[in-house]
Amino acid sequence: MNIELQCCALFILFTISVMFLREKKLDLMNRRLFFRAICACFACLIFDILSIILINLSVYRDFPQSVTSIVCKIYIMLLVIQGYFGYVYASTSLLPLDKSWAKNLKFACHLIFGIGELLMLVLPIGFTADGRIVYSFGPSTTVAYLLSAIFILMTILTSIAYRKQMPGRRFVAMILWQGIWLLAAAIQFMIPSLLLVGFASAFGMVILYIQLENPSEYFDGSTGLFTTNALSAYVHDKYKFGKQFSMFTAKIHFLIDYVDYNMEHDAVIRTARALVALGSEPAFRIDDDTFCVVYDDKDRMFERAAEIKRQKDNVKDIPAKGTYLLIPDSLQMSGPDEFFRFLHTYLDSEQEILVADETMVGELREQTMTKELIEDALANDRVEVFYQPFYNVGTSRFNVAEALVRIRLENGEIVPPGKFIPVAEESGQIIPLGTRVFEKVCEFIAKGEALKAGLEQIEINVSAAQFNYENPEKFVMENIKKYAIDPGMINLEITETAAAQNREIMLSNMSRLIENGVTFSLDDFGTGRSNIDYFVNMPVKTIKFDHSFTRGFFDNEKLRYVMTGMIDIFHMLNMSIVAEGIETEEQMNVMKSMGVEYIQGYYYSKPVPEEEFLRFLRNGNK
């Protein structure tokens, strides 16, 4: 009898089913749909074999024809179910389930499927056998072929339409799977004695299993836990299908500088074991030393997190502490992207226990919006530089100014740097942003208008990151050359915090720029840690007294003595002084009498755009 191929197919399917069911599994929608497709394939093959046997019995012996007809019908109905499940498996992860057209499409497929099955049930079916040629025919069978073709076609079309949204491997697997089916059907049509279709569908399942449903990147070899990739798939799945979850992460922080490999390995393995022993929920290793477990229920999550912390606190032989980030409700975040951004942002927190709340999510959103604002400003040339003049006490002229960055919104509104510089420093955007500011200042100087109006130097703020990240000579000197300006026109303002972070690099970078004629100021003097070492050994020409420091002069007697003394010291060191934040005539007069060289503040001018600044200079330096 012509059932050899089908038997082989059954054997293949049985093997992958056993493998599939035995392996550690993550409850993903795709996996469930895949398993459903395998079951349909199984049932289909069994009825395929059964129908061939019964057709032979009915044709060559006198087995009741009605029973054979029923079995043939079940077979073709299962064939369509298989095609339909295949399509659902292929499309569910791709179609946007919340869109109405996707919902309509889903409904239409259900309908076609339902009507098709009904038609197959009621329409007549015939069968015939002639040696190895065995088949059923009639209206019922025609409907089955038609529907199978529709679902195959839809699977292929969906795969093609969403090609860009899926990994290349998935696309190839989908096309191969459906292509093999089509090819088998075509061959079987031309050579009716070659019953290939059943075998082809089992073979397709093997392709899907190997390529898609057995991803080795989901398993961490050394701990047996799931990986970050698995977590990503899992979390996307949960959000997509509206399943709320809770989660805790546990991170190992070693308390010693040198951790040898065995100790680290031991800590990791023990953590992994403890997490697995917590219960049946999936545990992931999401970084070398970071783990997480996902729960359906937040009470259970809290309870299990407390248990793991208790166990950790009992470990005395590993010099490490644990930090825990608890996310009680996945709906606190708007979706997988925000969820992972949240993890990324808060996983490094040094706090022992951090429970996600609205404030944290709010801050994250604000930070994300600010990052987008900066990115957008850089891309659409909405980074602007304002200038604030310094009054030179000795010459009674405005010959120096500070460049201060702004972002102009589309509606013309101005965003001050306090709103975005800290985020830019954190995200690394300060590098392109700082370079842009520098370029704009050079461009402004190169126009020559400011020089004509009496300006001699512009001070530009630089963040620590700008000086430690890459060779700062590059963006400074490149632009100075590009715009052919005098390097002496440029003064860079650095802060004590910047200088403290990476002193060696900072100093060597500074000295190279100084050789090229650029000068430096120490900004924000009087805030933070005012270490004498900084201004004694730092090659700065100017000290800028911070607002708080100059303000303090007026209401704190002790500070008045400190300031008077500091001014003398700086003058002895041949440095000049800028007093920042001078807003009133009284403040201005006091600063003048104290002997500071420059006065900066709203008393003279706020930071203003280029044109306004030029007008101010032309007036002030008449």
- Contact positions vs ligand C2E (CB under 6 A): 388, 404-405, 416-418, 421, 434, 437, 461-463, 523-524, 547, 581-583, 600-602, 607
Nearer to ligand C2E, 56 or 550 (CB): 550
Q: Which amino acid is at 497?
A: T
| Residue 212 backbone phi and psi in degrees, to 5 | -120, -35
Nearer to Ca ion, 330 or 399 (CB): 399
- The total of other beta-carbon atoms located within 10 Å of residue 242's CB is 9
**Interior CA angle at 171 toward 166 and 174, to 5°?**
125
Tokens 């031991």 correspond to what residue? Answer: 266
Q: How many amino acids of this chain bind Ca ion (CB under 5 A)?
A: 4
Least distance to Ca ion from the beta carbon of 521, Å?
A: 8
Q: Are 482 and 441 in contact (CB under 8 A)?
A: no
Of Ca ion, ligand C2E, none, which one sits near residue 591, judging by CB under 5 to 8 A according to partner kind?
none
Of ligand C2E, Ca ion, none, which one sits near residue 141, judging by CB under 5 to 8 A according to partner kind?
none
Residues in contact with 258: Cβ distance below 8 Å, sequence separation at least 6, in sequence order: none
Least distance to Ca ion from the beta carbon of 461, Å?
A: 5
What is the H or E stretch that residue 381 is in? none
Nearer to ligand C2E, 350 or 585 (CB): 585
Tokens 């960055």 correspond to what residue? Answer: 405
Least distance to ligand C2E from the beta carbon of 491, Å?
A: 12
- The total of other beta-carbon atoms located within 10 Å of residue 415's CB is 18
- The footprint of Ca ion on residues 234-253 (CB under 5 A) is none
CA distance 356 to 248: 10
* CA Rg value for the chain: 37
Mark 442-481 with x for binding to Ca ion (rule: CB under 5 A) and - for no binding: -------------------x--------------------
Residue closest to ligand C2E, measured at CB:
601
State the helix-helix crossing angle for 4-22 and 29-60, rounded to 10 degrees: 160
**Interior CA angle at 469 toward 468 and 474, to 5°?**
95
Least distance to ligand C2E from the beta carbon of 402, Å?
A: 6
Of ligand C2E, Ca ion, none, which one sits near residue 437, judging by CB under 5 to 8 A according to partner kind?
ligand C2E
- List the strands of the sheet with 353-355, edge to edge: 283-287, 290-295, 246-254, 320-327, 353-355
Nearer to ligand C2E, 117 or 524 (CB): 524
Least distance to ligand C2E from the beta carbon of 97, Å?
A: 45
Of ligand C2E, Ca ion, none, which one sits near residue 388, judging by CB under 5 to 8 A according to partner kind?
ligand C2E
Nearer to ligand C2E, 213 or 523 (CB): 523
What is the H or E stretch that residue 527 is in? none
For residue 612, the SS3 value is helix
Least distance to ligand C2E from the beta carbon of 567, Å?
A: 19
Of ligand C2E, Ca ion, none, which one sits near residue 247, judging by CB under 5 to 8 A according to partner kind?
none
Residues in contact with 37: Cβ distance below 8 Å, sequence separation at least 6, in sequence order: 82, 85, 86, 89, 205, 208
What is the H or E stretch that residue 434 is in? helix 430-447
Q: Are 291 and 275 in contact (CB under 8 A)?
A: yes
Of Ca ion, ligand C2E, none, which one sits near residue 542, judging by CB under 5 to 8 A according to partner kind?
none
Least distance to ligand C2E from the beta carbon of 362, Å?
A: 23
Nearer to Ca ion, 237 or 524 (CB): 524
The Cα-based distances of 296 to 273, 293, 327 in angstroms read: 21, 10, 12
Least distance to ligand C2E from the beta carbon of 269, Å?
A: 45
Of Ca ion, ligand C2E, none, which one sits near residue 384, judging by CB under 5 to 8 A according to partner kind?
none
**Interior CA angle at 19 toward 13 and 25, to 5°?**
125
Least distance to ligand C2E from the beta carbon of 495, Å?
A: 7
Nearer to ligand C2E, 267 or 430 (CB): 430
Of Ca ion, ligand C2E, none, which one sits near residue 308, judging by CB under 5 to 8 A according to partner kind?
none
* Residue in 524, 389, 375 with CA at minimum distance from that of residue 450: 389
Nearer to ligand C2E, 439 or 449 (CB): 439
Q: Are 125 and 72 in contact (CB under 8 A)?
A: yes
Nearer to ligand C2E, 282 or 607 (CB): 607
The Cα-based distances of 339 to 52, 171, 237 in angstroms read: 54, 27, 13
Least distance to Ca ion from the beta carbon of 567, Å?
A: 17
Nearer to ligand C2E, 273 or 592 (CB): 592
* Residue in 231, 214, 246, 247 with CA at minimum distance from that of residue 31: 214
Nearer to Ca ion, 298 or 551 (CB): 551
Range 108-116, long-range pairs (CB < 8 A, 24+ positions): 109/84, 109/154, 112/147, 112/150, 113/80, 113/84, 113/147, 116/80, 116/143, 116/144, 116/146, 116/147
Least distance to Ca ion from the beta carbon of 579, Å?
A: 11
Least distance to ligand C2E from the beta carbon of 456, Å?
A: 19
Q: Are 614 and 387 in contact (CB under 8 A)?
A: no
Of Ca ion, ligand C2E, none, which one sits near residue 487, judging by CB under 5 to 8 A according to partner kind?
none
Nearer to Ca ion, 107 or 554 (CB): 554
- The footprint of Ca ion on residues 149-208 (CB under 5 A) is none
- The footprint of Ca ion on residues 483-542 (CB under 5 A) is 493, 523-524
- Enumerate binding residues for Ca ion (CB under 5 A): 461, 493, 523-524
